[in-house]
Amino acid sequence: MWLYAAAVLVGLYLLRRWHRERQTVPRLSEKYVLITGCDSGFGNLLARQLDARGLRVLAACLTETGAARLRAAASPRLQTVLLDVTSSHSIAAATAWVRERVGDRGLWGLVNNAGTAIPTAPNEWLTKDDFVKVLDINLVGLIEVTLSLLPLVKRAQGRVVNVASVMGRISFFGGGYCISKFGVEAFSDSLRLEMHGFGVKVSVIEPGYFKTAITSIENLEKNFLSIWEKLPEETKASYGENYLKDFLVALRKMQKKCSSNLTLVTDCMEHALTSRFPRTRYSAGWDAKLVYIPLSYLPSALTDIVFAWSYPKPGRKA
């Protein structure tokens, strides 16, 4: 009897959740959304996706070439602005541009999508500047963009959507990427609590591995080779002549498992912006849901065993 009662309660809970998540906010065609990092990848696809749905998309691109391509692929409603999230001057100029367009209505949605993973390598191979390059874009830039536009989001009682990663829950490779995504998670949590009283909702997107410019095998291999060549001979000797080769082989194997279905991520972003009851966190991709998120709850001793199994071994002989 208790088993049936529990099943009924679970079923009712899932039905209620399904019903709530299908409810959308009204007058979407009147709402402005700013998306960073729209030259390619998730940002580019999301901009076109929201534009097709009728929202007023303000797409921030790093290059004029990327902006022109996006405008050509979208409706006249979509507008673009150049934005370098590592430049305070660029952020201030983009904020003024957004304020002119949204006016008293405010900014309904801010999607912090701009990011990079390069330089990345084992931590010992990197310099402080290598870490800073990634942190400036993925974390510090995200924070400055958010703080600059937050008054406009508060005016609309809108949404902030921050793109983190499953690597913001569990880290198994070096460099600033995982560190920055842990930081995005922490910033989002504190911001969500602070903005609750203002009617602003904050969501985090946690994608697994997807085929984007960030995960391009060509870019990553070029990155690793460049860093390896600059290492002191003593450091290279400690890892062994086959370490880099093994590392690249493991990288290519992981690349083959990357999903090319970017809509799994952009659908999460769209739901966070358009649902009356957005989730706090969205896990995108089966690897995120079934592998990395569950692993993040296990003791570190167990996750170390799992990841060490596929990690290159230093000093391996040919």
Q: What is the DSSP string of 43-104?
A: HHHHHHHHHHHT-EEEEEESSHHHHHHHHHHS-TT-EEEE--TT-HHHHHHHHHHHHHHHGG
Express each pLDDT in 259-317 by its tens digit: 889 999 999 999 999 999 999 999 999 989 999 999 999 999 999 888 887 777 886 65
Question: Which of residues 24 and 20 earns the better pLDDT score?
Answer: 24
Question: Distance between CA atoms of 170 and 286, rounded to whole angstroms?
Answer: 16
- The phi and psi torsions of 79 (rounded to 5 degrees) equal -120, 150
Active site (catalytic) residues: 177
pLDDT of residue 2: 72
Helix (H, G, I), strand (E, B) or coil at 111: strand
Paired with 205 in beta bridges are 163, 282
Q: Is the pLDDT of residue 37 over 90?
A: yes
Looking at residue 202, what is its pLDDT? 98
User: Which tops the pLDDT comparison, 250 or 6?
Assistant: 250
Question: Using 50, 70 and 90 to split pLDDT, how confident is the model at 25?
Answer: confident
294-267-254 Cα angle (round to 5) = 50
* 3-state secondary structure (DSSP) of residue 160: strand
Helix then strand then coil, in percent of the chain rounded to 5, is 60, 10, 30
Q: Which pLDDT score is estimated for 15?
A: 74
Report the chain's mean pLDDT, rounded to a whole number. Answer: 91
Count the Cβ atoms, other than its own, within 10 Å of residue 311.
14
If one looks up domain 26-285+295-308 in CATH, what number appears? 3.40.50.720
Count of other CB atoms within 10 angstroms of residue 132? 13
Cα 202 off chain centre by:
14
Query: What pLDDT is stored for residue 276 in this prediction?
Result: 94
Write out pLDDT tens, residues 185-216.
Answer: 999 999 999 999 999 999 999 999 888 877 77
Instruction: Name the pTM for this structure.
Output: 0.90
Residue with the larger pLDDT of the pair 129 and 317: 129
Flag whether pLDDT at 158 surpasses 80. Answer: yes
Question: Can you tell me the mean pLDDT for 240-245?
Answer: 84
